[in-house]
Structure formats: C-alpha cells, structure tokens
C-alpha cells in the first residue's frame, strides 16, 4: 500500500558542482550495490535511479527551482528499509492496519538563495529573517485500508534535534485509481497541522525579525497550515526498469496563508525519475 511521502530529500540544484556530487553519489551507490545484493534474501529489493524534482524555493515562495534527484532505496522482506526519499525505518502490517517508524531529516531554510550543494531551501526574498536549521526527525505512521480503493493514513513528524522547530501531523486519504501489470496511478489528498512552534518557525515573523527584514510582524498559532493533492504514476518498462512521475499542488491555509512572507498561497510541485530494481 502506498504511504504518504514527506519527501525530506537533500535538494540539489542543477549546476556543475551539484552534478559532480550527484555523480559521486551514484558511484558510491554502485560500490555498495554488490554488498547489498550479496546480503539480500529472496523478497528484498534494491532500487537505484535518478531524475529531477521541481518545488518552491521555500513554502510560500512564488519561485520554483529544479533539483537533481538521486534514488537509493533498499527494502527488506522483514520490514526494514533505507531510503533517500523517506529515511531509515521499519514498516509492517497487521491485517488491514499498517504501521511504520522512520528516522528522517527535515531540511532547513536560509534567508538567501542557497548554494548548489546546500541541504536547505532558501531565497533572497527572506533577507533578515535568519536561518532555520535542519532537523533530524522521527516519523511515526499508521494506515488503514478501508477498501481496495480507499486508504487512510496518519503521520506524526517530531523533531529530535532543533526541537524548537516544532512538530507536525499529516492526515492522508489515498486512492489507487488504476492498477495493471505495467502501470499504477495513485491519488492522495493530505491535510497538514502544525504546533505553535512549527507554525512560528516556518511562517511567523517575530518583532526582531520584522525590524531586521522589513516584513510585517506575524504571530502564527497552531492549526492546519496546508492541503495537498498529489497524483503518482509508475510505469514499468520491463521487469526491472520503471518510470516514476509525480505532480501535485499545495494550498496554504490559516495562519500560514496569512503570513507576510508568503508570496503565493498555491504552489505546484513535481518529479520525474527513472529507476532500476532488483
């Protein structure tokens, strides 16, 4: 069953320096592939790939940026997995109920355009706000398969480091629209709620920040801050090769939408990857 993906990836803009890093990462992935493959038991799966992601420079930005994506996912039949898109964790199911616990990373935010090798988002538009440091986070998830075409999921995203960045909850309604031997299409509607610390960190403007940046002061309270609609398509070219595409839109809500740093309430995002699994 498909899970809500928080997509806490390390972003890479498409420049010469980042492409060198991507090639280095690919080389390292190829070096560890024989080790992982040798240790794999029947039912384990290793997926390698790459492509491009398109997303806003920060939540609320009116500018998008393209980032090269490196896919390295290793899932074991016993439920443990390591993934560049999700993190390190364990997931399993009991009947129609599934659960997972993941150690992941929430990217930080800079008050300037970020370098090509940065693991943070950022924009010059935010000058004076100061930086938000990235957080190691734990993600706890529960899902329930109501019917073959309707799944419910709840994710709790809690920071382990930089705890003042705040926690968030994500509730998802997921529907597998179409499934065949070569294609699968999935639609997901997600609502996101943040604690007062989360909201103030990413959408608030304190008095000192207002004085330094010129943005109007904004106190963001806990509440629902976004709704997202995503559609994912996976097309199997053959037994091993697949094309994975995703497109979506996020609508900010509540105190997030009303923030003085928000330039655009509705933002598109998408990705396109080519993967090889064995």
- Asked whether residue 166 carries a pLDDT value surpassing 90, the answer given is yes
- DSSP codes of every residue in 205-274: B-HHHHHHH-PPPB-PPSEEEEEEEEEEEEEESSSSEEEEEEEEEEEE-HHHHT-TT-S-SEEEEEEEEE
Q: Per-residue pLDDT tens for 33-76?
A: 444 444 444 679 999 999 999 999 999 999 998 888 889 999 99
Q: What would the pLDDT profile of 71-110 be if each residue is shown by its tens digit?
A: 999 999 999 999 988 899 999 999 999 999 999 999 999 9
For residue 246, which of 258, 261, 234 has the smallest C-alpha distance? 234
Q: What does the pLDDT average to over 148-153?
A: 95
Fold adopted by 16-277: Porin (2.40.160)
Q: For 211-263, what is each residue's pLDDT tens digit?
A: 999 999 999 999 999 999 999 999 999 999 999 999 999 999 999 999 999 99
DSSP state of 168: E
Query: What pLDDT is stored for residue 3 in this prediction?
Result: 60
| 181 neighbors 174 (Cβ within 8 angstroms) | no
Closest CA to 116 of 27, 28, 20: 20
Positive or negative CA dihedral for 136, 169, 199, 111?
Answer: positive
pTM for the whole structure: 0.84
d(CA 217, CA 264): 18
Alpha helical stretches, state H, the chain = 16-39, 196-203, 207-213, 254-257
Instruction: Assess contact for 45 and 278: CB atoms under 8 A.
Output: yes
Identify the pLDDT of residue 5: 54
Residue 18 has pLDDT above 60, yes or no: no
Q: Per-residue confidence at 269, pLDDT binned at 50, 70, 90? A: very high
pLDDT at 32 over 70: no
Q: Measuring CA to CA, how many Å separate 5 from each of 13, 110, 154, 196, 247?
A: 21, 23, 11, 23, 13
């Amino acid at each position: 069953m498909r899970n809500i993906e928080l997509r806490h990836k390390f972003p890479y803009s498409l420049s010469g320096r980042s492409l060198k890093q991507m090639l280095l990462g690919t080389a390292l992935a190829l070096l560890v592939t024989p080790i992982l493959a040798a240790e794999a038991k029947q039912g384990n799966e290793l997926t390698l790939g790459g492509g491009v992601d398109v997303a806003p420079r920060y939540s609320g930005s009116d500018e998008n940026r393209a980032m090269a994506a490196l896919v390295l996912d290793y899932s074991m039949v016993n439920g443990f997995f390591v993934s560049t898109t999700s993190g390190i964790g364990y997931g399993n199911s009991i009947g129609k109920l599934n659960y997972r616990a993941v150690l992941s990373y929430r990217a930080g935010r800079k008050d300037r355009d970020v370098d090509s090798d940065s693991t943070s988002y950022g924009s010059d538009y935010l000058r004076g706000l100061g930086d938000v440091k990235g957080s190691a986070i734990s993600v706890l998830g529960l899902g329930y398969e109501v019917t073959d075409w309707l799944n419910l999921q709840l994710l709790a995203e809690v920071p382990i480091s930089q705890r003042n960045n705040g926690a968030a909850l994500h509730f998802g309604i997921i529907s597998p629209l179409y499934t065949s031997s070569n294609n699968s299409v999935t639609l997901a509607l997600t609502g996101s709620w943040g604690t007062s610390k989360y909201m103030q960190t990413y959408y608030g403007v304190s008095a000192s920040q207002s004085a330094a940046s010129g943005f109007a002061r904004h106190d963001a309270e806990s509440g629902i801050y976004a709704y997202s609609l995503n559609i994912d398509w996976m097309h199997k070219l053959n037994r091993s090769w697949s094309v994975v595409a995703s497109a979506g839109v996020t609508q900010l809500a509540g105190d997030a939408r009303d923030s003085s740093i928000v330039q655009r309430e509705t933002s598109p995002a998408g990705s396109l990857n080519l993967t090889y699994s064995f």
